[in-house]
Amino acid sequence: MTEDKIVLPGEQVSTSEELLPGDGTFEEDGIIRAAIVGKYVVDEKHRKAVVEPLTSVPVLLKKGDIVLAQVGSVRSNMVIADVIHVIGKKRAISGDTNGTLRVSEISNGYVKDPSTEYSASDIIRAKVTQVKPSIQLATKDKDLGVIKALCRKCRHPLYSKGDMLECNNCGNKERRRTAIDYGTYDLNKL
Ligand SMILES: [Zn+2]
């Protein structure tokens, strides 16, 4: 992986054969992954993979912001997602980041069960519809929804194929409420 690239949580940046896991990363089965949204750099002196926060001056969420959020849990009538980045703001978020996406706010069409649309660890692009007393999210517009998802079986990235997402590693096919640019978004324009 090239350096100075913007990465998302869970994204592979290196391997434990090449480097040690440094700040902003974690190691899992010999793979070093980003733990935060940030810029991937190599600490050559200590041979460490490091993900630096985009900047240290934090930003407060506001209504109407378009954000990236990582799905934590999918319940019967809502999705809980952690807001990890505000699009267009190269800054960390301060304060509460625990967002709720109600089943009725997922899509313009009727959704009965959120688990047919989203899965834990998915990265979604969402609109903030409320900040207080709790952060509420919506993904009804076509540029909103999942921008990155991992295979439920083997955790490899899923690729868009027709109406479905497919795993190149194990062949598993999965459905998601994807954003229109799934797989082609540019993280360096975050
Ligand atoms: Zn798979």
Give distance in angstroms: CA of 150 to centre of ligand 1. Answer: 8
- pLDDT tens digit string along 25-40? 999 999 999 998 889 9
Give distance in angstroms: CA of 45 to centre of ligand 1. Answer: 36
Give distance in angstroms: CA of 33 to centre of ligand 1. Answer: 18
Give distance in angstroms: CA of 163 to centre of ligand 1. Answer: 17
Give distance in angstroms: CA of 170 to centre of ligand 1. Answer: 4
**Predicted model pTM:** 0.80
Residues with CB under 5 A from ligand 1 (ion): 151, 153-154, 156, 167, 169-170, 172
Give distance in angstroms: CA of 183 to centre of ligand 1. Answer: 16
Q: Compute the average pLDDT of residues 72-88.
A: 94
Mean pLDDT of the chain: 91
- Residues 34 and 50: their CA atoms lie apart, in Å, by 8
pLDDT at 2 over 70: no
- pLDDT tens digit string along 51-78? 988 776 778 899 999 999 999 999 999 9
Give distance in angstroms: CA of 158 to centre of ligand 1. Answer: 8
Give distance in angstroms: CA of 104 to centre of ligand 1. Answer: 29
